Amino acid sequence: MRLVLLVGQSNMSGRGYATPGDLVPLPGVRHLARDLTWREAIEPINKDRPFVGTFAADGTKRVSPDPWDAVPPEAGDRVVGVGPGRTFGRLLRAFAPDDEVGLVPAAVGGTPIAAWLPGGVDIFDSANHPYDDAIARARAAQRDGEIVAVLWHQGEGDAARGTPDYESLLRQVIANFRRDLGLAETVPFVMGTLASFYGDKHPETATGVAAIEAAFENIVATTPYVGLVNAFDLPDRGDQLHFSAEAQHSLGERYFRMWRSMSSVSPEKLAAQAEKYRDAPRVRTHILLDPGELLVTSPFGHRTHPVTGETRTFHAGIDGALWNGRMLLETGICAWRDGVVIEAADTDGPAGTCVAIDHGDGLVSRYFHLERGSLRVAPGARVASGALLGWMGRTGRATGEHLHFQLEREGEPLDPLPFLAA
């Protein structure tokens, strides 16, 4: 069984309102219930607080005779508790169909980073010890499988409190999980950024977001096999605090794609990348979904073609991928600027799955080699700067996963690099 540990606070536990698809079993995916038995992965899988579960139309909670099991909703009922873990589990099962997936939910809503150190206490319930309880649950699960991922989403409370040593504490948390669960350094620890929707209801949280985000990025850039996915663009459920169910589905996919990309990078490949691209141009840009830089693996201009071997061929754009400070990774591809989509297709030509956007004033941006079937836009759609177009891939004439980004004015190619800085 491939095990996935889900830890952090409420947005990892899940506060989204369930959709019909969240309430059906997933073949080959189970979750570890509070009594340490494996149950079907029907939401909610992380019942960390009394207000997580099934509620009747009048607001009263419906409780099963089996306190460890989910209660199937009746007409008018509402189920709260959708997080990103179940989507991650579904995609992991599709990725490795011969293996069962075991989700190990251990997130606790509202918990500060200090509660995730050994002996730490839940500030809302002194009977809970989030880190110690998570380790106990994970060790019980390890009797049936191997942990292949740790998913973490936490920091809203510390943003509001202005925790001064958040980065050092989070570094300790990561090191402790790896040490106490015997995890290899190469087991990905994937984090999600905070959101943008705290607004008027939670101004103290909004004020502290930048410091938490900086801590995340510093850790990712200096710690092996720690990844960070963007959640800043995802919507809330209406309370300006928690992601909606649909947002959680997107977040689960983003966690999975980061995990899959990180898992493909061996320590040897990591070292080779660092040496090969030591002096490659890098630029911070919002054409990549996840935080980091575009590392240019092949610049604009004449080059030896990497597929055909032809010399002095003209490269009308730049190639690159996400550089998080330690490794090259796949990620989502986003619109360079506002504009209208004039092409979006899975093609069999050299460009593969591609998108083109007309930005007006004769400017067109083009995005090649995206993953087949991943497009999120269609011709005629108006898109905003930073809107997700699809996912990085290797379709068409390509030697590996990357983005070819091309910029044209009146049909003439421009070097895109000077235009890309966010």
Residues 42-91 pLDDT 10s: 999 999 999 999 999 999 999 988 888 888 899 899 999 999 999 999 99
Confidence of residue 422 (pLDDT cuts 50, 70, 90): low
Question: Within 10 A of 171 (CB to CB), how many other CB atoms are there?
Answer: 17
- Structural domain span for residue 150: 2-263
pLDDT at 169 over 90: yes
- Same domain? For 111 and 241 the reply is yes
- Same domain? For 68 and 118 the reply is yes
**What percentage of residues in the chain have a pLDDT greater than 90?**
92
- Same domain? For 80 and 149 the reply is yes
- Same domain? For 289 and 256 the reply is no
CA dist., res. 131 & res. 94, Å (int):
30
- Same domain? For 146 and 279 the reply is no
User: Domain of 43: which CATH number?
Assistant: 3.40.50.1110
CA dist., res. 325 & res. 371, Å (int):
24
pLDDT at 222 over 90: yes
Dihedral in degrees, nearest 10, Cα atoms 392, 217, 279, 257:
-20
Q: What is the pTM of this model?
A: 0.96
3-state DSSP assignment of residue 233: coil
DSSP β-ladder status, 353-360 and 363-370: antiparallel
| 244 and 233 Cβ atoms separated by less than 8 Å | no
- Same domain? For 333 and 296 the reply is yes
- Same domain? For 323 and 180 the reply is no
Query: For residues 305 and 408, which has the higher predicted lDDT (pLDDT)?
Result: 408
Give pLDDT tens digits for 270-317. Answer: 999 999 999 999 999 999 999 999 999 999 998 766 666 777 789 999
Quick one: which of 419, 182, 173, 371 has its CA closest to 261?
A: 371
- Same domain? For 398 and 378 the reply is yes
- Same domain? For 256 and 278 the reply is no
CA dist., res. 419 & res. 345, Å (int):
25
Quick one: which of 18, 8, 64 has its CA closest to 41?
A: 18
Structure tokens at 208: 């502290």
| 321 and 402 Cβ atoms separated by less than 8 Å | yes
Give pLDDT tens digits for 99-137. Answer: 999 999 999 999 999 999 999 999 999 999 999 999 999
- Same domain? For 276 and 316 the reply is yes
Helix (H) or strand (E) holding 198: none
* Phi, psi for residue 204 in degrees, rounded to 5: -70, -35
| Mean pLDDT of all residues in 324-329 | 94
User: Domain of 362: which CATH number?
Assistant: 2.70.70.10
CA dist., res. 394 & res. 410, Å (int):
28
- Same domain? For 333 and 256 the reply is no
* Cα separation values, 378 from 343, 383, 392, 405, Å: 7, 10, 17, 18
Give pLDDT tens digits for 14-40. Answer: 999 999 999 999 999 999 999 999 999
| 104 and 32 Cβ atoms separated by less than 8 Å | yes
| 332 and 390 Cβ atoms separated by less than 8 Å | yes
- Same domain? For 144 and 226 the reply is yes
Give pLDDT tens digits for 333-388. Answer: 999 999 999 999 999 999 999 999 999 999 999 999 999 999 999 999 999 999 99
Final residue of a domain: which of 230, 263, 296? Answer: 263
Question: Within 10 A of 348 (CB to CB), how many other CB atoms are there?
Answer: 10
Give pLDDT tens digits for 180-210. Answer: 999 999 999 999 999 999 988 999 999 999 9
CA dist., res. 304 & res. 310, Å (int):
6
Residue 275: exposure state from Cβ atoms within 10 A (0-12, 13-18, ≥19): exposed
Residue 389: exposure state from Cβ atoms within 10 A (0-12, 13-18, ≥19): buried
Total domain count for the chain?
2
| Mean pLDDT of all residues in 142-166 | 97
Final residue of a domain: which of 217, 236, 263? Answer: 263
Confidence of residue 219 (pLDDT cuts 50, 70, 90): very high
Final residue of a domain: which of 219, 248, 263? Answer: 263
